[in-house]
């Protein structure tokens, strides 16, 4: 018959053997991972392709139509929506706006009155294209800065010239 002390000693030996087995298994896994990492370091690295930032007045790809060009510009300047309308409130093109007709009419009226846009994150500015007065409504999380407006205006002019 096994005494209590012998039983306890047997349990401790079994626990020690299991712990030793797990330590050896863990060491083998770590050695295998080390070999894999060393193999990755020896592999030639893929060359980093850096696309040049498009110059002002250009967008990164040639869009097939005006709507696609407006979408690309909104993405380039991180805008939530971009609406181009006439001075009397008609929409020329838009991207991202839930109600571009309302925005074009509302903000063109505010611009004619000389009232700044009351909504945060909205920049409204006049724009002339082929002697036609236009209104651009750019909406983002934060109001686009004034220096971005001039660059955006140049890009819009380029897009309108190529798409119309």
Please report the pLDDT score of residue 144 as a whole number: 78
Structure tokens at 78: 């991180």
Tokens 């709507």 label which residue?
67
What pLDDT does residue 63 have? 66
Neighbours of 77 (CB within 10 A): 16
Give which of 101, 158, 96, 92 is closest to 121, Cα–Cα: 96
Whether residue 115 has pLDDT greater than 70 = yes
The answer to whether residue 61 scores a pLDDT higher than 70 is no
Looking at per-residue pLDDT, the higher value among 51 and 115 belongs to: 115
Half-sphere exposure in the Cβ direction for 60 (13 Å, CA): 11
What is the reported pLDDT for 57?
47
Q: Does pTM surpass 0.85?
A: no
Give the pLDDT mean for 144-150. Answer: 81
In the sheet with 81-86, reading across from the earlier edge strand, the strands are 91-95, 81-86, 132-139, 122-129
Top pLDDT among 48 and 134 is at 134
Residue 101 binned pLDDT confidence (cut-offs 50, 70, 90): very high
Give residue-wise pLDDT tens across range 8-53. 999 999 999 999 999 999 999 999 999 888 887 777 777 776 655 5
Phi and psi (nearest 5°) for 94? -155, 160
pLDDT for res 116: 78
């Amino acid at each position: 018959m096994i005494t209590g002390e012998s039983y306890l000693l047997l349990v401790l030996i079994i626990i020690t053997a299991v712990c030793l087995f797990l330590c050896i298994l863990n060491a083998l896994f770590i050695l295998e991972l080390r070999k894999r990492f060393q193999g990755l370091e020896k592999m030639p690295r893929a060359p980093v392709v850096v696309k040049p930032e498009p110059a002002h007045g250009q967008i990164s790809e040639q869009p097939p139509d005006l709507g696609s060009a407006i979408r690309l510009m909104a993405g380039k300047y991180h805008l939530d929506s971009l609406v181009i309308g006439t001075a009397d409130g008609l929409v020329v093109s838009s991207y991202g706006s839930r109600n571009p007709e309302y925005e074009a009419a509302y903000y063109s009226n505010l611009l004619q009155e000389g009232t700044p846009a009351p909504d945060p994150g909205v920049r409204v500015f006049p724009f002339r294209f082929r002697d036609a007065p236009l209104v651009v409504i750019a909406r983002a999380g934060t109001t686009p800065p004034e220096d971005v407006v001039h660059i955006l205006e140049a890009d819009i002019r380029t897009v309108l010239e190529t798409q119309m």
